């Protein structure tokens, strides 16, 4: 074989082997690069997760107590503790036909007859407007409470702008007098989700200029009853009013706008401050004692997976809008959400003599395959829920009280609402045992809790859910208006009896 031919063959073999070697090396190099990318991505994700803990802080600890080793009967409440129940005018009185909820029930704001579950209307409700004497007698004889939180219906007092109904004014005088005659302390709420239709027609709390109408109503009512009433709640659950009315759209005015919702947040917080300052001024003028505070829904929000950045971001946002903005405003005098809200009023600091805590539920936010992909995730296997699918989580009321005390240290706290929907009355007894234990634990741990109001005195019209939720200590027969005390209320009643014995308090 000629040398030239042999050399060509050798060259081809060498080139072939070199190409094969390059392919192997290239594959190896690519594989190594791919591994490096995966490792780098994991490190970045891990760093982002850690960073999220600082950028989007949420509660570091989710409490789950070992109830099997806890003696829930071991409670000791202070001698001056307020024990009571709570209601709202529109939910129990009946025949409130001049407020925006009456309009909503009848298709207003949405042009739909489906605004209320099962096409229901509040109608006569529980007829509490006419049966208040019997109801107060039940509170005294059956429950043994020493306080009652109720709301004065703005649309009854001022059915048209600037015109006051003196018959309605006298009615609430009669209610208050009946309470005092039975040694029951009245706690009055000025705004509990309802307002006159004329106020709603002006845009309600969407506009700062409308605050003056609420201030004037509050001043009128305060002058009428302040010699008989010491404890005043300005606005009940502005966070629920706003989320349901301006985000979910399930309350009037049935809008869906985060921008408007945040605007209303600033207006309602400002309204509280102005009402507080106005009523304290009148209190000095009339030389009467007054305790005035806001009531907030402080249900807890946790990420389903606290190491999932998306869960954490969504939880932070939900917590900020539902609770954080309010606590910021009253502790620092300002609230801030980038690009959306930046509002300040230093008068807000100190504009509460007490803080009302309403507590009902705990939510875990997490990613799902549903639309929307982020929602409250349920765990029916390991957790317990009430008839409204709200988690029964007694540790949460402890956390809520602890949060308020941490943010507004030393400010007296009243649990202004706490209860559950339980038509079968199968969970109510355990509910009260555990929640009252949690409230007492908060007191023992240094939180200045001054009272506890069970929601509710009786079953009632539960807003957009209609009449099906059964929150009452008393079962309502809506046909006969008969009230029947539920056996599940027994732990609540027994705790009050025990407190009276320990503190030598006679009925």
- Closest by CA to 459, choosing from 499, 435, 488, is 488
Distance CA 113, CA 99 (A): 17
464 with 93: CB under 8 angstroms?
no
363 with 391: CB under 8 angstroms?
yes
- Catalytic residue list contains 417: yes
Q: How far is CA 97 from the centre of its chain?
A: 26
Q: How many helices (H) and strands (E) would you count in the chain?
A: 15, 15
Give the three-state DSSP class for 378.
coil
> Hunting for tokens 């591994």 — which residue is that?
35
Give the three-state DSSP class for 481.
coil
Distance CA 496, CA 473 (A): 14
477 with 484: CB under 8 angstroms?
yes
189 with 295: CB under 8 angstroms?
yes
Catalytic choice (153, 319, 402, 417): 417
Per-residue tokens: 371: 């639309």
90 with 153: CB under 8 angstroms?
yes
User: Between the CA of residue 444 and those of 72, 99, 313, 410, 453, what are the distances in Å?
Assistant: 14, 43, 34, 14, 19
Taking residue 13's Cβ as centre, other Cβ atoms within 10 Å add up to 10
- Closest by CA to 297, choosing from 251, 234, 360, 233, is 360
The alpha carbon torsion through 181, 185, 189, 190 (nearest 10 deg) reads 60
Distance CA 161, CA 351 (A): 27
Q: Which residues pair with 484 in a beta bridge?
A: 475
Distance CA 393, CA 410 (A): 25
User: Which positions are catalytic?
Assistant: 417
């Amino acid at each position: 074989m000629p040398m030239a031919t042999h050399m060509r063959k050798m060259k081809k073999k060498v080139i072939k082997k070199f190409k094969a070697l390059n392919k192997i090396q290239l594959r190896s190099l690519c594989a190594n690069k791919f591994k490096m990318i995966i490792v780098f991505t994991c490190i970045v994700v891990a760093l982002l997760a850690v960073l999220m803990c600082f950028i989007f802080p949420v509660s570091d600890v989710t409490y789950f107590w070992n109830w099997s080793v806890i003696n829930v009967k071991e409670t000791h409440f202070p001698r001056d503790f307020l024990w009571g129940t709570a209601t709202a005018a529109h939910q129990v009185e009946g025949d409130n036909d001049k407020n925006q909820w009456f309009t909503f029930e009848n298709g207003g704001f949405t042009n739909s007859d489906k605004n209320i579950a099962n096409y229901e209307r509040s109608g006569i409700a529980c007829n509490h407007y006419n049966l208040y004497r019997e109801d107060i007698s039940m509170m005294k004889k059956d429950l043994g409470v020493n306080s009652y939180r109720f709301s004065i219906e703005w649309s009854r007092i001022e059915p048209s702008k600037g015109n006051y109904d003196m018959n309605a004014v006298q009615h609430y005088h009669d209610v208050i007098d009946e309470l005092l005659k039975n040694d029951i302390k009245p706690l009055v709420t000025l705004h509990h989700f309802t307002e006159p239709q004329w106020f709603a027609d002006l845009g309600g709390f969407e506009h700062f200029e409308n605050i003056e109408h609420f201030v004037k109503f509050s001043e009128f009512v305060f002058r009428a009853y302040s010699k008989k009433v010491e404890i005043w709640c300005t606005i009940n659950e502005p966070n629920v009013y706003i989320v349901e009315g301006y985000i979910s759209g399930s309350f009037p005015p049935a809008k869906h706008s985060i921008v408007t919702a945040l605007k209303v947040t600033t207006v309602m917080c400002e309204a509280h401050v102005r009402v507080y300052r106005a009523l304290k001024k009148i209190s000095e003028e009339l030389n009467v004692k007054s305790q005035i505070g806001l009531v907030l829904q402080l249900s807890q929000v946790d990420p389903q997976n606290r190491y999932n950045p998306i869960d954490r971001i969504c939880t932070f946002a939900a917590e900020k809008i539902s609770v954080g903005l309010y606590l910021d405003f009253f502790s620092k005098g300002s609230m801030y959400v980038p690009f959306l809200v930046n509002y300040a009023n230093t008068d807000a600091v100190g504009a509460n003599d007490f803080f009302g805590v309403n507590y009902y539920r705990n939510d875990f936010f997490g990613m799902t395959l549903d639309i929307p992909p982020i929602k409250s995730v349920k765990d029916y296997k390991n957790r317990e829920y009430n008839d409204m699918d709200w988690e029964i989580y007694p540790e949460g009321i402890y956390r809520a009280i602890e949060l308020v005390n941490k943010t507004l240290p030393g400010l007296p706290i009243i649990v202004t609402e706490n209860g559950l929907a339980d038509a079968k009355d199968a969970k109510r007894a355990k509910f009260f045992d555990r929640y009252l234990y949690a409230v007492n634990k908060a007191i023992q741990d240094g939180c200045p809790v001054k009272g506890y109001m069970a929601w509710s005195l009786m079953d009632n019209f539960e807003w957009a859910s209609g009449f099906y939720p059964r929150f009452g200590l008393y079962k309502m027969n809506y046909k006969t208006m008969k009230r029947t005390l539920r056996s599940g209320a027994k732990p609540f009643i027994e705790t009050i009896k025990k407190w009276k014995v320990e503190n030598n308090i006679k009925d």
